[in-house]
Every structure is written in structure tokens, then in C-alpha cells.
Amino acid sequence: MILVTGGAGFIGGNFVLDWLREPNNEGIINLDKLTYAGNLATLASLKDDPRHIFVHGEIGDKELVQRLLSEHKPRAIVNFAAESHVDRSIHGPAEFVQTNIVGTFNLLECAREYWNNLDVDKKAQFRFHHVSTDEVYGSLSAQDPAFTESHPYEPNSPYSASKAASDHLVRAWFHTYGFPVVTTNCSNNYGPYHFPEKLIPLVILNALNSKPLPIYGDGQQVRDWLYVGDHCSAIREVLANGRLGETYNIGGWNEKANLDVVKTICNILNELKPRIDGKSYAEQITFVKDRPGHDRRYAIDASKVERELGWRPAETFDTGIRKTVQWYLDNPEWIEGVVSGSYRDWLSKQYQ
């Protein structure tokens, strides 16, 4: 078995589905708190798959994590569980400190105790894979080179500060205790099952519902976009062959300004599902108040993972965004399930 945390969320859910699609892979224990971002509908196709064991609970629960480790004896842990939305971290940072820092600490401690008691072979095989973000490196100007793994940590939001803290804990557990960790820091993911509080799914859904497409500030902030299936393949590669104690940056080689991303989505929708009035969805673009402390640019230099492990993304932005828009058009039931009362409350709080 492997233990996956946060496997009912966007990236964790895609990871679980992709992993179990391969018949020779081990089973998964999926530990998820089912916050607003966790969604069992993402895992509906696994209902009758005995290789998937879903456990509703949290990484900060010491007794639960200890019990899962001793019962299932996983050979690896992949830690996706986190509070992940920058805007929510600005409104309420406490949960971010609790899950991302204290929760990761608890998981590390339980895992270290478990690992210490494994026999020699299993101990050598064990891995703790921590999934993190490029936001820990802070913000770049237009001329700066992309983030490498040795870029200083300069987190700017409560979210990125909490992720940076968790990365430091993971690093220290390797250096101090020899605990076998690998960390990946990746750029903005997009693809199926993405909760529509984040830019790309929010814009697709708002466009289809005749709502404004909110662009923070001048829309010239730059992000690197990584298709979620590519991120999952990178994690599998690093988990299998990454060097212990190392970090690997994972990116899509797709830097785009937010406004260009939104215009691209509008163009694809104009083609796949034209507006009844024949006008472009771009007419719905609305500039709104900027995010406080908004990082201007992120860019990932993913050459280390390519050089050492031979991993490169399979999707370009053009292929990945088209698949993504098509997925949202094809999956109205999944969307129905996530746009609950709490989602609507969030939209009115954030966008008035």
C-alpha cells in the first residue's frame, strides 16, 4: 500500500485515479478531511475498487495516523493534504497554520516513529514525498531567471509562508533524523476536478453562467501552468527514483499572463460552445480590486528533474487547456456537486 493524504482534492484526486488506472500499482489508503475542497465525487469511479481505501480524517490526528500506519504498513506516504487557496489564506490564515504546518509536523512524527520500527529492507525502501509549491520562492520580476531549487525561500502570503514552513520541517527531518524524504515544488496546476475558486475553473464556469470574469489588478501577473496529469507523472517519477533529501521543481514551461489565460479560455469556449447572442465570452472580462500582496511572476526552471530523472511535461498549454475546457463542458454533474451553499458564500465574500 501507499498512504496518500488529501486524495479527495484536485491534485490528490487526479493522482489517486491515475495511480489506480495502472493494474500493477499497489493499493492506496486515502486520508482526507473532506474540507470544502475535498470531494468524493472525484473518486466515484473507484467505488468498487478494493485497492482504494478511503479514510475520512485529518493528518493532524495522531492516533488515527498511527493506527493507519500500523494497520496498513505503507511503503510510502505522499502528502497532498493542505489548505491551498491564497485568497482564503488572506481572509483566514489560522487553518493554514494548523493543517499545513502542524498537520505536516504530526504526519512527519508519526511516519518517523513507524519507519524507525521497520525491518532493514522495508526501512531502506520507505519514502515520504511532500508535495509543495513554487510560491515558497516568492515573486520574480520580468527579467529574473526562473526559480531553481536553490532559489532562496521568500514566501509572501499566509498560504506560501505555511507551505514554506512545512518544507523546512520536511528538510530538517531528513538532515536531523535521516528520515527518507523527497520534496517537489510545482507551479500552477490546471485540469479536471479543479475546484472553481481557482482562476481557470472559475473563469470557465462564470463564462458559461453569464457572470463576470474577474481579473485582479491589471491581469499582467505571470504564472507557469502545469497540466495536472503531468504533475502526477512527475510525482510518480520522483517517488520511484528521486534522490533522498532532494527537492525537485516541477513546471510546465508555460509562462502566461493571467489576462492571456482568460482570453485563451474565452476563445476556446467561443468555438466549442458559442454564446447565444454570438458575442465573445471576452465581453464578460471585468477588472476587479487586486489581491493584497499579489505576487507578480512565478516561473519554474524544471531542468533538474529532466536531467536527473528524464521527466518532461507531455502537454503544452494549448493542448492542456483545450482538454480542460472540454472536461468542464462534459461533466456538469461534477460541477453541480461542488457549487454548494458554502461555495456561493465564498464567491459573495470574495467578489461582493
Cα angle 119-122-125, degrees, rounded to a multiple of 5: 145
Q: Which does 225 bind (CB under 5 to 8 A by kind): ligand NAD, ligand DAU, none?
A: none
Describe the crossing of helices 317-330 and 258-272 by its angle, rounded to 10 degrees. Answer: 50
Contact of 182 with 130, CB cutoff 8 Å: yes
Could you list the active site residues? 134-135, 159
Q: Pattern of binders to ligand NAD over 20-49, x per CB under 6 A? A: -----------xxxxx-xx-----------
Any contact of residue 16 with ligand NAD (CB under 6 A)? no
Rounded to a whole number of angstroms, the minimum distance from the CB of residue 199 to ligand DAU is 4
Burial class (CB in 10 A: 0-12, 13-18, 19+), 328: buried
Q: Which does 151 bind (CB under 5 to 8 A by kind): ligand DAU, ligand NAD, none?
A: none
Hey, which residues between 307 and 346 contact ligand NAD (CB under 6 A)?
Answer: none
Element containing residue 10 per DSSP (H, E): helix 10-21
Tell me which residue of 252, 237, 134, 232 sits closest to 186, measured CA to CA: 134
CA–CA separation, 118 and 129 (whole Å): 18
CA–CA separation, 168 and 183 (whole Å): 10
Contact of 111 with 128, CB cutoff 8 Å: yes
CA–CA separation, 240 and 248 (whole Å): 13
Q: Which does 158 bind (CB under 5 to 8 A by kind): ligand NAD, ligand DAU, none?
A: none
Q: Which of 17, 20, 29, 99 binds ligand NAD (CB under 6 A)?
A: 99
Contact of 252 with 226, CB cutoff 8 Å: yes
Q: Which does 221 bind (CB under 5 to 8 A by kind): ligand DAU, ligand NAD, none?
A: ligand DAU
3-state SS string for 251-265? CCCCEEEHHHHHHHH
The set of cell numbers assigned to 130 is 511532500
Q: Which stretch binds ligand NAD (CB under 6 A): 2-10, 115-123, 252-260, 276-284?
A: 2-10
Q: Which does 166 bind (CB under 5 to 8 A by kind): ligand DAU, ligand NAD, none?
A: none
Q: Which of 30, 84, 206, 254 binds ligand NAD (CB under 6 A)?
A: 84
The set of cell numbers assigned to 264 is 485563451
Residue 98 DSSP code: I
Report the residue number, 108 or 250, with the smaller CB distance to ligand DAU. 250
Task: Give the nearest residue (CB) to ligand NAD.
Answer: 9
Contacting positions for ligand DAU (CB under 6 A): 84-86, 133-135, 187-188, 198-199, 202, 214-216, 221, 223, 258, 291, 298
Q: Which of 88, 163, 236, 297 binds ligand NAD (CB under 6 A)?
A: 163
The contact set with ligand NAD (CB under 6 A) reads: 5-6, 8-12, 31-35, 37-38, 58-60, 80-84, 99, 103, 131-133, 163, 186, 188-189, 195
